[in-house]
Amino acid sequence: MSERETAPLRHATWSDYRAAARSVRASPRAATVLKSLRPRDTTRILYARGPLPLALYIADCEERLVWRGPDEFAVLQTPLGLRTRYPLPASATVCRWLDSNWGIAVFAATPALLELLSLAVALAIGSLLVAVCVLLLALLFVSVALSIGVAHPMLARHRLAPGEAAVGTAVWHHWSLVLLHDADAHTPGRMLEDVLHRLHRLIARDVQDSARDIGGHAESVRVHDTLVCLASGVTTEPVLRWLVSRADADVPFGPGSELIMLAPQARTDDVSPRLVYIPFFRLFAASVAALIALIPLAMVDWEKSACHDYTCPTALLTYGRALHWLAYQFLWRDVPGLAPSSVESTGMGFLVHFLLPVTVLVGVVSARTLTKNHRTAIRRAEQERRRTVPRVLIMSVKAEERNAVLAGAERITGRRAQRDFTGHGAVYELGTIGGARVSLVQAGEQGVGGPAGAMLTASAAIRQIKPDYAIITGICYGLYPKEQKLCDVLVSQRVRDLNLAGVRDVAGSVVSEDRGENVQGTHVLLDRCHAAEQDWDRTRVHIGEMLAWTTKVDSNAVVHELRQRYPRAVGGEMEGAGFHAAARRAGVEWIVVKAISDWGYRTTNRYHVEAATNAADFVLHMIDMGGLRTKPTDLLG
């Protein structure tokens, strides 16, 4: 039995839903939010959707309600084009239909109740007059509702906000966040993390159920869909500003627009141009109106010429009478007491008949074209972002190294990193720096071995993020105290793996022989580090061979032996071998950039923070100067 076939698990009660609705109504942006959640139907006097507690109940039954409490919750909406309907108990199914068809239900129920009331009055008090008045009231309600529904589209002048026309297209194809309520606005990050986690679970469930229905099995589901956030669904200004300023937020129609798109690979430094379409239908309608306004000028002359010798009481001898008659001809109707006397006016009225169906046809075609253009533009924008934005993975091990990268990225972007928990390990999305999308992961332990070591952590992160460039940064030990200084930056030209070795007897002594690789780093990242060194003046940058050894070195004698055996080495660390193995296996450009925190003997933690900061800042400086804004496959030459 699939998950969707089980009974829904509700997280709140009806009293909670009512309390949540009161909290939304008390929010600063309540009018905008409620207008978005409960728009008017075609009659303009009834709501198209049910009350907010009813909508929250349905969302909770379908697991679209992300609930932390009446003052902190969110509502997701499935793509309208999928027409996904989760099986619910009978009562919830009725409530779902009632919520979706609230306007129709109220429109039908109101006159029906009034008719029952009139019958009850007639039977109870025997007053036929009162019963007839109640029936007339029911007819008046229906007449007013229908009249407003017909007149409003013709008389209302609503100017669409930027991106408002594309909202329907976006929510048709993507999951959307239609309500985000955080009354205190203290922890919107936690709320959105819960939303993204729920979104991943719902999509994964649908994929797994679909695979099961066709006899397959989907063990691991990777979600890469864009989450469409509606600005009109955010109840407080601080949360709305925070949402727009997120590192992974993109506002394709410019500031102040309705659409906010959260996509794993969205670019935020390359704002998409505002989509502007030629309003052809408006132009056509204005032309028709101008034509109908100008033709009567000629009709007056035609009518006067036809009636100059005799009296024509019904002739169109004034501009007002001619315009009145022609407007009715446009609507395929005649005006009592008005009729043309000239052949030209009669023929013109006949031709004007055809303007109405042509106008309707142009309106339908224009609406379809506008929808198609918006859908194409949104899809093209998403594909362009995914195609052109390179991904950079930075890996750290110790907490000081992670914090140094987070602090450095926040100084550059002005935004805090967003955490993604959809994979095995937490991924810190740092935002777009220098035209590249940068992510950070942290290995759980030093060295390359173990489930949380550098090799498996890097492999899992590469599978999840699919980066174009991978960089490991942090602290290391230096080998030459006279030529180097503490906190200097070391960049790997090559990485020598000391973990694989052989031993044999030679003249009664045991001799160790290296069997590990001595791998040259990828040339693109090495070249970018050379370029970044030019305007990096905080410390010296030493580029050379890095020794990768999972043994913790705290011995002057061992350091002396390393200098003797590997004279080209500039330093040593513990994770480089596993990191480069994972990156090479995946075909990803890689490099090791670390800073000296000690000399491999008499080690202390005194310089850990400063060294980690220097290494992280050098890496971010190299990215920020634009060195990685182009994917390796798109580089010239």
Q: What is the pLDDT of residues 222-239, one digit of tens each?
A: 777 788 888 889 999 988
Whole-number Å distance between alpha carbons of 534 and 2: 60
- pLDDT, position 263: 61
Are the CB atoms for 77 and 170 separated by under 8 Å? Answer: no
pLDDT for residue 416 = 85
CA angle (258 as vertex; 254, 259 as ends), nearest 5: 75
Q: What is the DSSP letter of 47?
A: B
- For residue 577, pLDDT over 50 is answered with yes
Q: Average pLDDT for residues 127-155, to the nearest whole number?
A: 70
The answer to whether 429 touches 394, Cβ cutoff 8 Å, is no
Q: Which residue has the higher pLDDT, 30 or 155?
A: 30
Report pLDDT for 315. 77
The predicted pLDDT at position 271 comes to 36
Q: Which fold has domain 390-634?
A: Rossmann fold (3.40.50)
Q: Give the residue with greater pLDDT, 516 vs 212.
A: 212
* Residue 37 reports pLDDT greater than 70: yes
Q: Is the pLDDT score of 149 beyond 70?
A: no
Cβ atoms of 440 and 381 within 8 Å: the answer is no
d(CA 375, CA 254): 17
**Whether the Cβ atoms of residue 372 and residue 378 lie closer than 8 Å to each other:** no
CA-CA distance, 436 to 2, in Å (whole number)?
40
Among residues 471, 466, 414, 419, the alpha carbon closest in space to that of 269 is found at 414
Residue with tokens 């994972």: 582
What's residue 215's pLDDT? 81
**Mean pLDDT along residues 462-491:** 93
Residue 8 confidence (pLDDT)? 47
- Mean pLDDT over 308-328 rounds to 79
Tokens 């969110």 identify what position?
74
Cα distances (Å, whole numbers) of residue 291 to 324, 393, 463: 14, 63, 63
In this predicted structure, the answer to whether residue 502 has a pLDDT above a threshold of 70 is no
Closest to 74 (Cα-Cα) out of 35, 23, 15:
23
| 23 within 8 A of 70, measured Cβ to Cβ | yes
Q: Write the DSSP symbol of residue 624.
A: I
**pLDDT recorded at residue 415:** 82
More confident residue, 409 or 183: 409
Can you give the residue ranges of every domain in the chain?
A: 3-105+161-262, 109-155, 277-389, 390-634
pLDDT band, residue 384 (cuts 50/70/90): low
Band the pLDDT of 265: cuts 50, 70, 90: very low
CATH number for region 277-389: 1.10.287
Helices (H) and strands (E) in the chain, counts: 19, 18
What is the full DSSP assignment across 364-382?
A: HHHHHHHHHHHHHHHHHHH
Alpha-carbon torsion (284, 288, 294, 299), positive or negative: positive
Strand partners, 596: 476
C-alpha dist (Å) from residue 564 to 224, 383, 520, 521, 597: 51, 53, 21, 23, 21
Decide: helix, strand or coil at residue 15.
helix
Angle at 60 between CA 59 and CA 61, to 5 degrees: 90
Residue 427, pLDDT score = 92
Helix (H, G, I), strand (E, B) or coil at 83: coil
Q: What is the structure's pLDDT at 3?
A: 43
pLDDT at residue 133 above 90? Answer: no
Which residue intervals of 230-342 are DSSP H helices? 237-244, 280-306, 319-330
- Helix (H) or strand (E) segment spanning residue 229: strand 227-230
Given strand 259-262, what is the order of strands in its sheet? 65-69, 72-77, 176-182, 227-230, 259-262, 249-250
Determine the pLDDT at residue 278: 44
The residue type of 307 is: C
Question: Is the alpha carbon torsion for 493, 499, 504, 506 positive or negative?
Answer: positive
Whole-number pLDDT of residue 503:
65
Quick: pLDDT tens for 59-108. Answer: 988 889 999 889 999 999 888 767 656 677 788 888 888 888 888 888 88
Least confident of 372-386, 396-410, 609-623: 372-386
E strands, 480-568, are 489-497, 501-506, 509-514, 518-520, 541-548
CB 357 within 8 A of CB 351: no
> DSSP secondary-structure letter at 261?
E
Q: Give the number of C-alpha atoms closer than 13 A to the C-alpha of residue 254, restricted to the C-beta side.
A: 8
Q: Is 352 exposed, middle or buried (0-12, 13-18, 19+ CB in 10 A)?
A: buried
What are the backbone angles phi and psi of residue 381, rounded to the nearest 5°?
-65, -40
d(C-alpha 547, C-alpha 571), whole Å? 6
Cα–Cα distances (Å) from 230 to 159, 243, 637, in that order, read 18, 10, 43
* Residue range 161-198, pLDDT digits in tens: 556 667 777 777 788 899 999 888 777 777 888 888 88
Beta strands of 532-576 (E only): which ranges?
541-548, 569-573
The contacts of residue 544 (CB under 8 Å, 6+ apart) are 490, 491, 492, 493, 494, 568, 569, 570
For the segment 142-150, the average pLDDT, to the nearest whole number, is 71
* Mean pLDDT computed over 141-155: 68
Is the pLDDT higher at 379 or at 75?
75
pTM: 0.56
pLDDT grade, residue 126 (50/70/90)? low
Query: Mean pLDDT over residues 255-260, rounded?
Result: 78
Helix (H) or strand (E) holding 68: strand 65-69
Give residues with Cβ within 8 angstroms of 133, minimum separation 6: none
Average pLDDT over residues 18-43: 89
pLDDT digits (tens, 9 = 90+) for 581-632: 999 999 999 999 999 999 998 888 899 999 999 999 999 999 999 889 888 8
Q: What is the pLDDT of residues 527-567, one digit of tens each?
A: 999 999 999 999 999 999 999 888 888 899 999 989 999 99
**CB–CB of 580/625 below 8 Å?**
no
Query: What number of residues does the chain have?
Result: 637
pLDDT at position 7 over 50: no
**Mean pLDDT of the region 260-288:** 57
The residue ranking higher by pLDDT, 73 or 131, is 73
> How do strand 227-230 and strand 259-262 relate by DSSP bridges?
antiparallel
Distance between CA atoms of residues 602 and 599, nearest Å: 8
Higher-confidence residue: 257 or 386? 257
503 beta partners: 512
Q: Provide the pLDDT confidence category of residue 508 given band limits of 50, 70 and 90.
A: low
Query: What tens digit of pLDDT does each residue of 342-360 get?
Result: 888 888 888 888 888 888 8
Query: Is the predicted pLDDT of residue 306 greater than 70, yes or no?
Result: yes
> Within a 10 A sphere around the Cβ of 161, how many other Cβ atoms?
15
More confident residue, 610 or 310: 610
